[in-house]
Chains A and B, each alone.
Chain A
Amino acid sequence: GAGVSQSPSNKVTEKGKDVELRCDPISGHTALYWYRQSLGQGLEFLIYFQGNSAPDKSGLPSDRFSAERTGGSVSTLTIQRTQQEDSAVYLCASSRRGGQPQHFGDGTRLSIL
């Protein structure tokens, strides 16, 4: 009966490197969301998956950001050529289906040096 699991919990990397963040949603939850939480911007929506498709990716800040979901379960968020402004906590949430309450993981704290 585990909640949403995210890994790694912390990631420090050098500017220009690529990073992959992973989210394991609650079992049986078909909807999955990525958000970003930073000091200046609060909690911002990035992308929403229903099953393996992403009907709303309007929050991805640039083409350096991409996400995929396979098997209707695990999702990875990839940031290419990281910049210092990418430093933030990346949060994943899941729900039984779209429009249902979203339950969050504890996030990945990403620091770009």
Chain B
Amino acid sequence: GENVEQHPSTLSVQEGDSAVIKCTYSDSASNYFPWYKQELGKGPQLIIDIRSNVGEKKDQRIAVTLNKTAKHFSLHITETQPEDSAVYFCAASYSSNEKLTFGTGTRLTIIP
């Protein structure tokens, strides 16, 4: 089955700087890659997603890039703000099997 690895496990960034979180996946059949943000006591919230026919997608300060050949994808957050502090999860799935396989999470701390 699919295996998703995520790095780093923790990340501290000065407010206003950029943060990058990286994930790799094992199954070349995977074609959908969402990113979730989870705050304490809440469920994961979808922040951006990308499909395998696209190399990059942006939504304001958030962007995701996908390299299908290398089987890795990354989340980029620019101009970080204190409210960006949370745990971020990457995930992967493929259309013949709808379940999401998650990475182990990155705890992002924005230092004011």
Interface, chain A (partner B; CB < 8 A): 4, 31, 33, 35, 42-45, 48, 50, 55-56, 58-59, 91, 93, 98-99, 101-107
Smallest beta-carbon distance A13→chain B, Å: 20
Chain A facing B: main interface SS: strand
Chain B facing A: main interface SS: strand
Neighbouring A residues of B34 by C-beta, 8 Å: 101-102
In the complex, whether B43 has a CB less than 8 A from a CB of chain A is yes
Interface, chain B (partner A; CB < 8 A): 32, 34, 36, 41-46, 49, 89, 91, 93, 95, 97-105
Smallest beta-carbon distance A101→chain B, Å: 5
Neighbouring A residues of B46 by C-beta, 8 Å: 101-104
A-B contact pairs, 30 of them (CB 8 A): A33-B98, A33-B100, A42-B102, A42-B103, A42-B105, A43-B44, A43-B89, A43-B91, A43-B100, A44-B102, A45-B99, A48-B99, A50-B98, A55-B98, A56-B98, A59-B99, A91-B44, A98-B95, A98-B98, A99-B32, A101-B34, A101-B46, A101-B49, A102-B34, A102-B100, A104-B36, A104-B45, A106-B41, A106-B43, A107-B43
Neighbouring A residues of B36 by C-beta, 8 Å: 104
B98 to A48, Cβ gap below 8 A?
yes
